[in-house]
Structure 1
Amino acid sequence: MITEIAQIKIHPGHEKQFESAVAEAVPLFPSADGCHGIDLHRSVEHPSQYRLMVRWETVEHHTVTFRASEEFARWRALAGPYFTAPPQVEHVRSVLAQ
């Protein structure tokens, strides 16, 4: 299992609109091939910064399959207008969990 971590900065003052857009987009992710769930976290210290965490079977399920899909285009149409810049994305694999 791979976790995509997208660091997202949005325009200050648009947090509620962004969160609503992500809530509308949530069903797009589980319907994507290889997706096992999604979480959105908001920074306490920097309220216009978020971490979107998506669990994928493989990196390719995210970078190839999902990014080429209509679901990805819809996700970007909903959430993208609130981004100050493209999200910083990395993929991680758990090496220790309790």
Structure 2
Amino acid sequence: MQGSWIVRQSVGSTPCLLGKAVDCNYIRGPKYLEIDVDIGSSTVANGVLGLVIGVITTLVVDMAFLVQANTTDELPERLIGAVRVSHIELKSAVVPKLEPEIS
């Protein structure tokens, strides 16, 4: 992570298992896996968000996503992908218009 010293000291650089830190909802389709992450489900995550929101345009965060093995039969673990989030401009965010689900 790149950013101000105070944010780096507070957040640290230790990897986090997202599924254990916050509530996640997993949706599996025929050719995709969607993970909805509820940041509001964790007071720690809310605290980190509150700390970085004011300096978010200066942050560079690298994230990697992998499928964790819980048994030896599931080894080796698989890296799904990685992304770098850099200098986010929140004022340019848009809310997508979603089509209603047909049951």
TM bracket (short chain): 0.3 to 0.5
Which of the pair has more CA radius of gyration? Answer: 2
